[in-house]
Amino acid sequence: MQEPAVKKTLYWCPVCNLPLIGKKCRCGAEGVAVALQKPYDVRPALSHDMELLRSLLRDRFGTDRLPQVVLFNKIGGVDRAESVIADGVVFGRLTFDPASRTYTFDLSFEALSYLLPSITRNVVDITDAAASEGRIGGKRVAVRTDLPDGPVVVRMGNLAGVGTLREGAVKVKQIGRVDPVEVPDPSWEETGKANAKHLKNLERTAIRFIRQHMHDRPRANVSFSGGKDSTVVLELARRAGIDEVYYVNTGVEFPETVAFVKECGIEKVLHGPDFWSELKKYGLPRKDDRWCCERLKLQPVKEWLEREGPCVTVQGNRWYESFSRSTLPPVVENPFNPRQLNISPVRNWRALEVFLYLWWRQVPYNPLYEEGFERVGCWLCPAMLESEAARTRELHPELVSRWEKHLNAWAKKERIPQRCVELGLWRWQEPPPKMRELAAQCGIRLPKKREKR
């Protein structure tokens, strides 16, 4: 059977004003297409994320008005970068700057139909300055203002737009006529109900897939990480008739995750070697040298199955998570552990479907998602963004201080500038171009990239 294509478009009901899994809403309306950006993994903005957006809007534009249903579409950037979607349009772009440790929310022109009546700050009138400019979209217009540099709303006669103020000039991104709109403001609960038919179909297909393969080996189990994807998979597998579940505690898991695993009644908990002892042997774990995953996660499972025997393992891997998983086959023998046949029933689900399903089935999930985390792996994982590291520091300063002490000692020993640690450059043995550019902007000279032999 041919696998479904990756979904590059989100559909939005123009009547109910909510996102759709399919192309048609239960009200009968056809969804309006919203183009997504790679990796197309659209997800809900949860409690901390919503407060973050509101605080940025308050500080910059004097309003905290937002619909209840807001989505993030992760996009490329130096650190965290999200395309913010609401009311069926791209509302703007949320970015985190690891150099200044600050967030910026750049509004889109389309967001003005919803926000303009409530915006009271950082509005720049360019009517007189642009009188001789002709077409001004994309141009820099000199203005006299004492407003701080950053995103601004632009006024020009009866037109409005968005731009960026820097050093006495506004670069106008887009300007035009803005007609305020009044649309419904549904909740996530209403969004789940509107998508119930599609969620039921997703569930039915996934359970059928699990039952089709759960007897390919003498026994079947679920690999549970405490994350949202494995939480959905656990629910689906239990509905398919699989009860055996295991969790690998690496020793550097978030306390919230450990508590959540216990609440889920997971009795089989595997442990690997002590991380801090392994750290002395292997050095820092990096994004391009993640020995920690093999030693702390894969090896304990391999040793366990050497005693227990071959099995089918239901896992929560999804295409949209990363480039490496975008070609994930539905059934594959684990290359690290041939005793394990991995099956992935939610491989074609986006994070939107994952959360809608959890809400629809009223399944509890890891509280860290509501605290602003996109991923809930180890709290010092090298794959973590600096924005997530900053949030970890806010929630668990006692944990982070120990790790930062180690990083600072490492930097001193290797004669690496302290600023490299602050920027998160320790995460790579060979920093990618975007991180080398960031280092250069911060006045740090990194060693030239080593040539591969």
CA distance 59 to 74: 23
Count Cα atoms within 13 angstroms, Cβ side, for 180.
7
Rounded to 10 degrees, the C-alpha dihedral 211/214/215/217 comes to 170
pTM: 0.94
* Longest CA pairwise span in the chain (Å): 80
Looking at residue 5, its pLDDT comes to 57
How many CB atoms sit inside 10 A of residue 77's CB? Answer: 15
Task: For CATH 3.40.50.620, list the domain ranges present in the chain.
Answer: 195-382
CA distance 397 to 34: 40
Nearest C-alpha neighbor of 160 from the set 119, 109, 106: 109
Count Cα atoms within 13 angstroms, Cβ side, for 76.
6
Looking at residue 129, its pLDDT comes to 79
Q: Tell me if 245 sits within 8 A of 224, measured CB to CB.
A: yes
Phi and psi at residue 32, to the nearest 5°: -90, 135
Nearest C-alpha neighbor of 186 from the set 295, 67, 97, 276: 67
CA distance 307 to 193: 46
Q: Which amino acid makes up residue 195?
A: N
Coil vs helix vs strand at 238:
helix
Report the CATH architecture of 195-382. 3-Layer(aba) Sandwich (3.40)
Nearest C-alpha neighbor of 328 from the set 310, 306, 343: 343
Pairing mode of beta strands 340-343, 311-314: parallel
Cα separation values, 268 from 224, 257, 276, 344, 365, Å = 10, 15, 23, 21, 19
Looking at residue 448, its pLDDT comes to 72
Cα separation values, 443 from 295, 407, 437, 440, Å = 36, 20, 10, 5
Phi and psi at residue 264, to the nearest 5°: -80, -5
Nearest C-alpha neighbor of 124 from the set 98, 163, 86, 81: 163
- The string of pLDDT tens digits covering residues 289-348 is 999 999 999 999 999 999 999 999 999 999 887 655 556 789 999 999 999 999 999 999
Looking at residue 430, its pLDDT comes to 93
Q: Tell me if 287 sits within 8 A of 384, measured CB to CB.
A: no
pLDDT per residue as tens, the chain (453 positions): 344 457 899 999 999 999 999 999 999 999 999 999 999 999 999 999 999 999 999 999 999 999 999 999 999 999 999 999 999 999 999 999 999 999 999 999 999 999 999 999 999 999 987 766 666 767 788 998 999 999 999 999 999 999 999 999 999 999 999 999 899 999 999 999 999 999 999 999 999 999 999 999 999 999 999 999 999 999 999 999 999 999 999 999 999 999 999 999 999 999 999 999 999 999 999 999 999 999 999 999 999 999 999 999 999 999 887 655 556 789 999 999 999 999 999 999 999 999 999 999 999 999 999 999 999 999 999 999 999 999 999 999 999 999 999 999 999 999 999 999 999 999 999 999 999 999 999 999 887 765 444
CA distance 165 to 149: 5
